[in-house]
Amino acid sequence: MEERVQIEFLDIEENDQYIKNAETVVNKCFEIENLLDTKLYISLILTTPDKIQDFNNTYRNINKPTDVLSFPMFEKEELENFKSQIEEPLGDIIISIEQVKNQAIEYGHSFEREFSYMIVHGFYHLMGYDHIESSDRAKMREKEENILNELNIIRE
C-alpha cells in the first residue's frame, strides 16, 4: 500500500494511536475520492496551540490558536481528473491536539471522533471544498459525515 500520509509531531510526543488513526482515515478519504491510483499524499502536522497560532498568524494574519489549518497544493478543478503519477503532496494539514481534546469534551464525543473529523475536514479543504456559503457547507458536511460513517466513527 502507498503511504498516503506523512506525519510530523511538532512539540508534542509521538503517539502510535494518532498515527494509526490518521492512516486509517486518510486511506478511506483517498478511497472514497478515487485517489488511490495517484501518488498524492498528505503532510499532517500534529502540534500545540502555540505552534498552530504561529502558523495561523504567519499564513492567515490571525493571531490566535485554532483547531485545524489546511494548505492545498491544487485547485479543485485540477483534482477532478487527476492523472499524474509523480509523488507530490495534496497539501498540508496542521492540527492542534490539545484543541482536539478540548473539543471532544465540549461536544461530548470521543477523542478519536474529533481527531478523525479534523483530518477529514482538513482533507476536504485540500480537495477544494469550503464552508463559507451554506450550500457549500452542506456539501462539505455530507462528504465528511460519509467518510466517518464508512469508518463507523460516529457521534456518541
Whether residue 14 is contained in a domain is answered as yes
Q: What is the rounded average pLDDT of the residues 114-134?
A: 94
Q: What is the rounded average pLDDT of the residues 54-66?
A: 98
Residue in this structure with the C-alpha cell 482538513, named with its chain if needed:
122
Whether residue 16 is contained in a domain is answered as yes
Phi, psi of 15 (to 5 degrees): -140, 115
Q: pTM (2 decimals)?
A: 0.95
Whether residue 83 is contained in a domain is answered as yes
Residue 58 has pLDDT above 70, yes or no: yes
Q: Cα–Cα distance between 77 and 88 in angstroms, integer?
A: 17
What is the domain extent for residue 25?
5-150
Residue 1 has pLDDT above 70, yes or no: no
Beta strands across the sheet bearing 88-96: 5-9, 40-47, 88-96, 68-72
Whether residue 155 is contained in a domain is answered as no
Residue 83 pLDDT grade (very low, low, confident, very high; cuts 50, 70, 90): confident
Residue 84 pLDDT grade (very low, low, confident, very high; cuts 50, 70, 90): confident
Chain mean pLDDT for the chain: 95
- Structural domain tally of the chain? 1
Whether residue 156 is contained in a domain is answered as no
Render pLDDT for 100-113 as a digit per residue (tens, 0 to 9).
Answer: 999 999 999 999 99
- In this structure, the dihedral spanned by the alpha carbons of residues 30, 17, 119 and 49, taken in order and rounded to 10 degrees, is -150
The CATH number of the domain holding residue 68 is: 3.40.390.30
SS3 115: helix
Of 47, 13, 50, 7, nearest to 25 by C-alpha is: 7
